[in-house]
Amino acid sequence: MSKTKTAAVVLAAGMGTRMKSALPKVMHPLTGRPMVNHLLSTVEALGVDEAVVVVGPGMEAVGRTVAPHPTVEQADRLGTAHAVMQARGALEGFDGDVLVLYGDTPLITPETLSKMLEARRGPARPAVVVLGFRPDDPGSYGRLMMDGDSLESIVEAKDATAEQLAVSLCNSGVMCVDGARLFDLLDRVGNDNAKGEYYLTDIVALARADGLACAVVEGAEEELLGVNSRAELAVAEAVAQARLRTAAMDNGATLIAPETVFLSHDTVIGRDVVIQPHVTFGPGVTVGDHVEIKGFCHFEQCTIADGATVGPYARLRPGADVGEGAHIGNFVEIKKAVVEPGAKVNHLTYIGDARVGAKANIGAGTITCNYDGFMKYNTDIGAGAFIGSNSALVAPVKIGDGAIVAAGSVVTRDVEPDALAVARGRQEARPGWAGRFRQRMAALKAGKSNDKKGA
């Protein structure tokens, strides 16, 4: 028996006017990626065979973001049934199960969608499976009208009677439909309702009138949060962050104050990692095992190897690669640079476009001068080298293995291995000068004061 195929139609044509943004609503980020991609990642994890995204006019940016998944345009926004109809051409000949999802409802899980598919393929073979939930405040949600275990119809809140509004089981909008029947049902949807729109929810009543079964799977309210405003986006972010933190701790990381640690959708954290409060992980960060991350750090597109120590107040920018057992200390910024195993960059330092060799030691206040206003240049610091405090390494420059750069040096030429480089002005001592200076200045000050009194 062949496996039943699954397709997903993601509705993403909404203007999102309550977001007060030039950015399409579904493009607003959640855990570091657009909401619509968050949902598509869930769909991909489910193993769907096809996914089509319905967009509105002028939403080319959404199309680029969701690629390689195809998009279709809903030129006129005439309701949810009309939106799904736009996918007819993309799903021509498809007779598997079709999930109808919403790009602004990104928190739904693969497990919940799997339950819907199981119900659709169960003994009753319902033509339509609706994802329902029981919110604390049913408010404007459509109500699911049940007859025992059978779903009879969905009534929009604006069209509901007082008795129907008393029903607590609500419609999330998410459906799983028999693909062989979907477009026939949609063709018969009318717009005789309070909003004059073509409601996707009407296919339930149409299916029942055809003598077909319809069913409901209940989900958690948390999964079905719709994002229509900045405030709702913040609520969704809080839910998503809580999930990521729990997963990190379940996988063996210690978060001292979990609510202050912010993760991205793709953050990878190893075992026996300790993360102190107020740490932010941007996209593209991988942390090995036995790493200690101290407070108030910010990471993005970087790698931290096993046993390293980072922070507090460290910033690892894109391309930072911290080696095994390396130390990155307070107020250190690393950008597009490799810090090899055992190296130490402990305080008040900028390392950019560089290599810091194994077990090298970089003194406080050191900077790699990697940019001349037009081009970036590389600095290479050899294994076991020692860079004295407050040094400036003017790239391109190479410090050999085991070399020492004296504190306060401005290094503009390569330093040979095991050599000492001193590049600073020569110190002079002038005995008694300071005392004579103070006397002269005191007398000058006193003279000016007397002049003012005489006036």
* Helices 202-209/179-187 angle, 10° precision: 100
Contact 104, 35 (CB under 8 A): yes
Q: What angle do CA 351, 353, 357 make, to 5 degrees?
A: 65
The C-alpha angle with vertex 406 and arms to 338 and 415, in degrees rounded to 5, equals 60
Q: Is 424 annotated as a binding residue?
A: yes
Does 335 appear as a known binding residue? Answer: yes
Tell whether 213 is in a known binding site: no
H/E stretch holding 280: strand 280-281
365 among annotated binding-site residues: no
The answer on whether 79 is annotated among ligand-binding residues is yes
The structure tokens listed for 221 are 């309210």
Distance CA 312, CA 44 (A): 37
Whether 205 and 193 have beta carbons less than 8 Å apart is answered as: no
Place of tokens 């809080």: 238
350 is in an annotated binding site: yes
264 is in an annotated binding site: no
Token readout for 84 is 């799904």
Residue whose entry in the numeric block shows the structure tokens 């390396």: 326
The dihedral region occupied by 65, where left means phi > 0, alpha psi between -120 and 50, and beta the remainder, is alpha
Q: Residue 364 annotated as binding?
A: yes
Residue with tokens 């920018």: 317
Tell me if 421 sits within 8 A of 402, measured CB to CB. Answer: no
Catalytic residue among 28, 82, 327, 347: 347
The reply to whether 74 sits in an annotated binding site is yes
| Alpha-carbon distances, residue 53 vs 87, 321, 430 (angstroms) | 8, 37, 79
Q: Binding residue per annotation — 142? A: yes
| Phi, psi of 27, rounded to the nearest 5 degrees | -90, -10
- 340 is an annotated ligand-binding site residue: no
- Does 307 show up as a binding residue in the annotation? no
Q: Residue length, the chain? A: 455
Q: How far is CA 86 from CA 83, 143, 205, 276, in A?
A: 6, 26, 21, 49
Report whether 193 belongs to an annotated binding site: no
Q: Does the annotation place 12 within a ligand binding site? A: yes
Asked if residue 141 belongs to a known ligand binding site, the reply is: no
25 marked as binding residue: yes
Is 228 known to sit in a ligand binding site?
yes
347 carries an active-site annotation: yes
Active site residues: 347
Q: Annotated binding site for Mg(2+): which residue ranges?
A: 104, 228
Q: Annotated binding site for UDP-N-acetyl-alpha-D-glucosamine: which residue ranges?
A: 11-14, 25, 74, 79-80, 102-104, 142, 156, 171, 228, 317, 335, 350, 361
Q: Annotated binding site: which residue ranges?
A: 11-14, 25, 74, 79-80, 102-104, 142, 156, 171, 228, 317, 335, 350, 361, 364, 370-371, 389, 407, 424
Q: Annotated binding site for acetyl-CoA: which residue ranges?
A: 364, 370-371, 389, 407, 424
